Amino acid sequence: MSRTRRAIAVGALALLPIAPAVVTAVVAASPAHASQPLRAHAEARGKFIGTAVATTQLANESSYRTIAATEFDQITAENAMKWESTEPSPNQFTFSGADAVVAFAEQNGQQVHGHTLVWHSQTPNWVENLDAAGMRSAMNSHIAKVVGRYADNPVVRSWDVVNEAFNEDGTMRDSFWYRKLGGGYIADAFRAARAADPDAKLCINDYNVEGVNSKSTAMYNLVKTLRGQGVPIDCVGFQGHLSLQYGFPGQVRENVQRFADLGVDVRFTEIDIRMKTPRDSAKDAQQATYYRNVMDACLAVSRCVGVTIWGFTDKYSWVPDTFPGEGAALPYDENYGRKPAYTAIHDALAAGGPDPSDTTPPTAPGRPSVSAVTSSGATLTWTAATDNVGVTGYDVYSGTTRLGSATGTSLTLTGLTPNTAYTVHVVARDAAGNTSPASGTVDFTTLAGQSTGCTPSYRLVNSWPGGFQGEITLRCASAVTSWKTTLIYPSGVGVTQAWSSRMSGSGPAYTFTNADWNGTIPAGGSTTFGYIGSWNGTGTPPAPALS
Ligand code: G3I
């Protein structure tokens, strides 16, 4: 059933009972000015600013309630919507905590992000102990019941459908979900959530995926694959549990942008930035810079819909319990005093962003020169564009396809197709989103891969519950003395053994090179190798992408 939620403005502050002074201030605020709460500035920028909330503090502490209501226009239940809270025993649902959070949001003109449906943690043991059929059915019924409860509620806009599905190296986490149901549990969970609420934004959420790294790339590949298969995934959540001692992650803005380019929303879902305690002014300043960096990364990409902080006061945070000797991770101190981190968030939202009146685009960058061409990449270098305010980045295109982005005047392209001609150009952009005219173009052709002249084709030989046998035939137009081909599988599929070839890789990409005896193929000839795959889904095992 459709509902009216989309017509309701995020800042429906006429409903705000706790701090009536804010009602006037926010409604009058266009554009927001510096003395206003975070939410006023966020709304003026078309983003949300949120916090996780704990039901005990919401119920018992007025200072906590007031800040949660006045500063934030989005809330996430820190624990109250998790499986152990909502369905502690089979088919016994308790929504008192979840309902309290939703009621608070309704009173205060806030949106709610549901956290979380399918996770390996804070899920009762009875779920883990089910057999595969029972677990699949429990997952579907849990999603239907929990998402369905709020499907017609206009403030509950989005859900973390699957949480923390990856290992740090990008392989799938060996959770009880994965072990029992195979990687297909992710697509199944999203389909169940869409069936329960056709309008909610459905997200996959994880930690250590803020910058470009193996884990975020695996997540990127999964989202791309799932969307290609029509799985209803709308959004990606970067948790953002950062620590001063590990430094700020690399390429956060670029990472947000690459997900945005897949057509999904991006949100920072659980930001906190811990330090070794006690605090001092240098650590506070560094923490403020990190908060500012997060805000700026979100503000720079239109599909980044907002930032949620994982609590707001150091009085209540999961950090010291989990990381002894660390803490002070939030923008308010233990006495609800604002820290430099608060000012950084405020200033990013209020003043640090692009000037909307700037409509002057940068000049065109110089025509790029090309070097270090390989079978899959090339390095481009160009002279800088200029801008009345400042150039913030460059995008490299082949026609209308964006091949990559850089903040400086050079970019090494990767993932190109061997033996292929490219004509590329560069476009500069500024913080206000103005883009320059295109640079001149440069042509180059990638080198042939080792399987020059050979085209791979795939055949499913047979399949059985849990696995299948695949076969690749390489047909070669010209003679080769060695060959190499790569298969890329969606998550949930693994290749466990191969013959008539040498295999390397642990997924999603598997590379096969010739065995000692079958590297030589004459012009017009072919060779075939086979392999065994693992897969727990139903129907026909997915075919690999071939290159
Ligand atoms: O409510 C009980 C209380 O009755 C009992 O006395 C006390 C004794 O330990 O425990 C209380 O429960 C704790 C609960 O938080 C509520 O405070 C649990 O022990 C504790 O494990 C639980 O921790 C939560 C943690 O997830 C569990 O994994 C944190 O509050 C919560 O902030 C944290 O949030 C996660 C996100 O959901 C997912 N991403 C990572 C993030 C941080 O770990």
Phi-psi region of 340 (alpha: psi -120 to 50; beta: other; left: phi over 0): alpha
Q: What is the DSSP letter of 67?
A: H
Mutate which of 318, 321, 323, 330 for ligand 1 pocket (most atoms within 8 A of beta carbon): 318
Query: Of the residues 71, 254, 270, 326, which is catalytic?
Result: 270
Cβ neighbours of 516 (radius 10 Å): 6
The single-letter code of the amino acid at 270 is E
pLDDT at residue 223, rounded to an integer: 96
Q: What is the DSSP letter of 89?
A: B
Is 206 close to ligand 1, i.e. is its CB under 6 Å away?
no
Interval between CA 120 and ligand 1 midpoint (Å): 14
pLDDT at residue 460, rounded to an integer: 95
Tokens of 448: 């042939």
Determine whether 270 is an active site residue. yes
**Stretch (H or E) spanning 193:** helix 185-196
Interval between CA 343 and ligand 1 midpoint (Å): 28
Per-residue pLDDT, averaged over 414-443, amounts to: 87
Instruction: Express as a percent the part of the chain with pLDDT over 90.
Output: 71
Is 78 close to ligand 1, i.e. is its CB under 6 Å away?
yes
Q: What is the pLDDT of residues 154-175, one digit of tens each?
A: 999 999 999 999 999 999 999 9
Three-state SS for 422? strand
**Model confidence at 266: pLDDT above 60:** yes
CA-to-CA distance for 468 and 489, rounded, in angstroms?
13
pLDDT at residue 11, rounded to an integer: 34
Instruction: Express as a percent the part of the chain with pLDDT over 70.
Output: 92
pLDDT at residue 403, rounded to an integer: 87
CA-to-CA distance for 217 and 228, rounded, in angstroms?
16
Adjacency order of strands within the sheet including 466-476: 454-464, 466-476, 526-535, 493-499
**Model confidence at 213: pLDDT above 90:** yes
Parallel/antiparallel/unpaired status of strands 502-504 and 48-53: unpaired
Using 50, 70 and 90 to split pLDDT, how confident is the model at 391? Answer: confident
Interval between CA 63 and ligand 1 midpoint (Å): 22
Ligand 1, atom 27: closest residue by C-alpha:
122
- More confident site: 58 or 390: 58
pLDDT at residue 451, rounded to an integer: 52
pLDDT at residue 358, rounded to an integer: 74
Q: What is the pLDDT of residues 47-74, one digit of tens each?
A: 999 999 999 999 999 999 999 999 999 9
pLDDT at residue 150, rounded to an integer: 98
Mutate which of 85, 122, 315 for ligand 1 pocket (most atoms within 8 A of beta carbon): 122
Interval between CA 56 and ligand 1 midpoint (Å): 12
Is 239 close to ligand 1, i.e. is its CB under 6 Å away?
yes
pLDDT at residue 8, rounded to an integer: 35
**Model confidence at 270: pLDDT above 80:** yes
pLDDT at residue 501, rounded to an integer: 93
Question: Can you give the residue ranges of every domain in the chain?
Answer: 38-350, 369-445, 454-546
**Model confidence at 353: pLDDT above 80:** no
Per-residue pLDDT, averaged over 377-381, amounts to: 90
451 CB-contact burial (10 Å; exposed 0-12 / middle 13-18 / buried 19+): buried
Interval between CA 526 and ligand 1 midpoint (Å): 58
Per-residue pLDDT, averaged over 306-312, amounts to: 98
Lowest-pLDDT range of 10-14, 81-85, 121-125, 387-391: 10-14
Per-residue pLDDT, averaged over 217-231, amounts to: 95
Per-residue pLDDT, averaged over 383-387, amounts to: 93
Is 272 close to ligand 1, i.e. is its CB under 6 Å away?
no
Backbone angles phi, psi at 473, to 5 degrees: -115, 125
pLDDT at residue 4, rounded to an integer: 44
Is 160 close to ligand 1, i.e. is its CB under 6 Å away?
no
Atom of ligand 1 nearest to the CA of 116: 37
Mutate which of 51, 58, 75, 78 for ligand 1 pocket (most atoms within 8 A of beta carbon): 78
Ligand 1, atom 36: closest residue by C-alpha:
78
**Model confidence at 240: pLDDT above 90:** yes
**Model confidence at 210: pLDDT above 70:** yes
CA 183 to chain centre: 18
**Model confidence at 262: pLDDT above 90:** yes
Per-residue pLDDT, averaged over 469-474, amounts to: 95
Interval between CA 321 and ligand 1 midpoint (Å): 9
Is 318 close to ligand 1, i.e. is its CB under 6 Å away?
yes
Is 482 close to ligand 1, i.e. is its CB under 6 Å away?
no
pLDDT at residue 344, rounded to an integer: 93
Using 50, 70 and 90 to split pLDDT, how confident is the model at 126? Answer: very high
pTM of this structure: 0.67
**Model confidence at 32: pLDDT above 90:** no
**Model confidence at 17: pLDDT above 50:** no
Residues belonging to the chain: 547
Using 50, 70 and 90 to split pLDDT, how confident is the model at 263? Answer: very high
pLDDT at residue 452, rounded to an integer: 57
**Model confidence at 6: pLDDT above 50:** no
**Model confidence at 357: pLDDT above 80:** no
Lowest-pLDDT range of 155-164, 194-203, 397-406: 397-406
Interval between CA 318 and ligand 1 midpoint (Å): 7
**Model confidence at 13: pLDDT above 80:** no
Is 121 close to ligand 1, i.e. is its CB under 6 Å away?
yes
**Model confidence at 491: pLDDT above 50:** yes
38-350 matches 454-546 in fold:
no
Using 50, 70 and 90 to split pLDDT, how confident is the model at 31? Answer: very low
333 CB-contact burial (10 Å; exposed 0-12 / middle 13-18 / buried 19+): middle
Atom of ligand 1 nearest to the CA of 317: 32
pLDDT at residue 430, rounded to an integer: 79
- Which architecture characterizes domain 38-350 according to CATH? Alpha-Beta Barrel (3.20)
Alpha-helical runs (H) found in 311-375: 319-322, 340-347
Cβ neighbours of 327 (radius 10 Å): 22
CATH of domain 454-546: 2.60.40.290
Mutate which of 53, 56, 79, 269 for ligand 1 pocket (most atoms within 8 A of beta carbon): 79
Reply yes or no: is the peptide bond before residue 51 cis, omega within 30 of 0: no
Which superfamily is assigned to 369-445 in CATH? Immunoglobulins (2.60.40.10)
Atom of ligand 1 nearest to the CA of 311: 32
Interval between CA 372 and ligand 1 midpoint (Å): 50
Phi-psi region of 180 (alpha: psi -120 to 50; beta: other; left: phi over 0): alpha
Lowest-pLDDT range of 12-26, 35-49, 69-83, 193-207: 12-26
Per-residue pLDDT, averaged over 453-471, amounts to: 92
Interval between CA 79 and ligand 1 midpoint (Å): 7
Ligand 1, atom 20: closest residue by C-alpha:
318
Tokens of 169: 């190296």
Is 270 close to ligand 1, i.e. is its CB under 6 Å away?
yes
